[in-house]
Each structure stands twice: as C-alpha cells, then as structure tokens.
Amino acid sequence: MSALAEKHKAINLSQGFPDFPVDPKLIDCVVKAMREGFNQYAPMPGWQPLREKLSVKHHSDYAVRYNPETEITITPGATQALQSVFASTIRPNDEVVLFAPAYDSYAPMIKACGGKIVWVELSPSDFSVPHQKLTEAVSSKTRLIVLNNPHNPSGAVWKKEDVLLLEALQQKFGFFVLADEVYEKICFLPKGFESLTKSEILRPSLFLVYSFGKTFHATGWKLGYVLAPENLMKELRSYFQYAVFSVNTPMQKGIADYLDSVDLNEVAKMYMEKQQFFENEMKKTKLRPLPTYGSYFQLYDYSEIRNDIGDVEMAEWLTISAGVATIPVSVFYPNPPTHMRYLRFCFAKKNENLSRAALALAEL
C-alpha cells in the first residue's frame, strides 16, 4: 500500500510509521555516543546501563522486577525478539495458538520453526478474546500462545477476565506465553492496559516483547528488547548469541542516556490527542470509527460509502480516487471473514496530513 501511495502521491495512512520527527534530544544522545567512540560491539545481551534502566522502568511501570544481567536482552527491533522466542521455544509440529487478525510476521516465522498454527479468530464486532474458541483451541499439544496487546490492527486490549482464562489454561496445559506489548506506551485508558507482566501465574512462562521504534517514533532504528525469567532467557540467548550476537552500540548508549531525561507518559498523551483530532476530523466523512484503546491505529467501517466491494479493492480505490492510502484488515487473516468492511488507518501522522486525508475522504 505504501508503494501504491507513493505512485499516486496519496496521503499515506497505511503503513505504521510516524511522519513526524524523532525528538532532537534523542538524536543528540546517539550522535554524542558515536562521537565519543561507542562504536564497537556491545555485550551480547545489550548495553549494560540500558538494561539496568529498562529494569527500573519496568518496575516503575508495572511493579515487577526483571534482572538486567539475566532477564533482559536488547534485540534488533521487536521483530527479531519475536523470532528469537519462536526459535528457542518451538520444536517441529508443536502447536502455536495465534489470534486473527495478527501482525503479519508471526505466522511465517512460526512456520519456519516447524510450528503448526492453531488460529483463534477474535470476535469480529469488537476484536475481543473469544473465551469459548480459545478454550477449544488449547490442549496438551500447545507449546506457545502469542498475543498482541494493545492490538494491531484493531486497537483492542485484553481484559482482566481474558487474563484469568489464560491463567487457568496455562495452569492446566503448561504452555509458554509470548506477549507482544510493543504499543505499551500508546494506550488511551486512564488505568493503562492489562499487561501480562502483572500475572504472577503466567510470569514463569512469559516472554514480553517491546520496541523502541514504537515508543520513540523511530521505527527505522529497529531496536527493541525482550524480558523473560532467567531459565527461559538462557534458552533464548543460546540462540540469539549466534543468530544476532549484539545490537548497535551507539543507539543503545544514546537511548540509555535519553531515558534519564524523558517522561514516557507523554507519548500516550501525544497519541491520544492525535487519535481524538483524527476521529473528529473523520466526522466529516461517511466512514464510521470502531473504538481504539491503544496502538496508533484505528479501524473504520466503509460500508456507507461502498458495500459492494471487499476491503482490498476498497483500499486500492481510496488510494487512487481519494488520494488516501489505508490497509485492508483482511490481510491480517489467514482466512478473512466474508463481508469484512474495515480499513486500518494509522494516525501517527502530522495533524495537517490527518486533516487533508479527512477532507479528501469527505468528498466521497
């Protein structure tokens, strides 16, 4: 969709990357680190002061302590953290439960490790966790359950009762859990989202994945990290040591220094303003919003404009005829539900671009 947007000079609200600059203070910290000579290999698990600061950050956010020596590893983006979790947990023919719609990297990486995917479709009306379907999908063959919270593409979040169900199932069947929480700092609920880290029952089997790219709106830096209890992290690192070894040093040093001066709660405020601004601008159009509680995405129902075409065709048509690029939600499904009439909009864009997009869509 980004390529099509480029070709038609459309406003690109499709791919999930911000179009506004990274904080110049963060750039200064990285440049300073390079100038000061932090340009050689970092230790395998990551730059030690960064791991220490992440341990403090996690504790202050969730009151859970991870040991920076043994339980935190810095990775080249959240994507590689996910890949390391898959490579170190899945054996051929293990079953892995995935929720659809799903972030597009999960399934190919799981298949490459020999895993067999058992899909659970989120409820199509509000993308909540379907308790019955989840219970039916899990068995003693389940090796790993992967969840993304807050959720891309829907902006849905896990509820307390969903976590309780997962805890009960985990205690019965003993699988691992991978919580992809890359949008942890982009949540619009006053009390924040229900991070799985808070579950004492799940924690011994839990991998948590985060992304600096998302939090610092620097997606091109591809830097993230993974948290896990020591025994699981040992396994993960035994793979990571040879698949990656270590992540670029000056960015790790720069981020570690930057974390001293930044209030990460400002990130949610900034995105909440953008989300409200965009939703307000979109009132001029015939696209109807679904609620979003987190991430920098929101789904819109386009059926009042055209109910006769599927979402892929609609996304192409909007790019070409209205000059606004979006992502069809069906591409996040292995077998998309028929009659899905949702498009995903990324509102991590300058307000002027959000306004221009809404104005163009209002013509339809």
Ligand X SMILES: Cc1ncc(COP(=O)(O)O)c(C=O)c1O
Residues of the shown chain interacting with ligand X in the complex, contacts defined by CB under 6 A: 16, 77-79, 103, 148, 152, 180, 182, 211, 213, 219, 222, 224
Q: Give whichever of 205 and 211 is closer to ligand X, judged by the CB atom.
A: 211
Q: Give whichever of 248 and 285 is closer to ligand X, judged by the CB atom.
A: 248
The residue behind tokens 């963060």 is 26
Shortest CB 155 distance to ligand X, Å: 11
E-assigned strands of the chain? 11-12, 72-75, 95-100, 116-121, 142-148, 176-180, 206-211, 224-227, 288-289, 297-301, 324-325, 327-328, 342-346
Shortest CB 32 distance to ligand X, Å: 23
Shortest CB 139 distance to ligand X, Å: 26
Q: Give whichever of 78 and 226 is closer to ligand X, judged by the CB atom.
A: 78
CB atoms within 10 A of CB 207: 26
Shortest CB 222 distance to ligand X, Å: 6
Q: Give whichever of 88 and 219 is closer to ligand X, judged by the CB atom.
A: 219
CA distance 207 to 199: 12
Q: Are residues 107 and 98 in contact, defined by beta-carbon separation less than 8 angstroms?
A: yes
If residue 5 lies in a helix (H) or strand (E), which one and from where to where? helix 2-7
CB atoms within 10 A of CB 243: 12
Pinpoint the alpha helices (H) of 174-248. 212-215, 230-243
Using Cβ positions, the residue closest to ligand X within the complex turns out to be 77
Q: Among residues 12, 6, 27, 17, which one has the least CA distance to residue 255?
A: 27
| DSSP label of 203 | G
Shortest CB 86 distance to ligand X, Å: 13
**Degrees to nearest 5, angle at CA 94 with 244 and 208:** 50
Q: Give whichever of 249 and 285 is closer to ligand X, judged by the CB atom.
A: 249
Shortest CB 183 distance to ligand X, Å: 7
**Degrees to nearest 5, angle at CA 179 with 301 and 1:** 40
Shortest CB 214 distance to ligand X, Å: 6
CA distance 189 to 192: 5
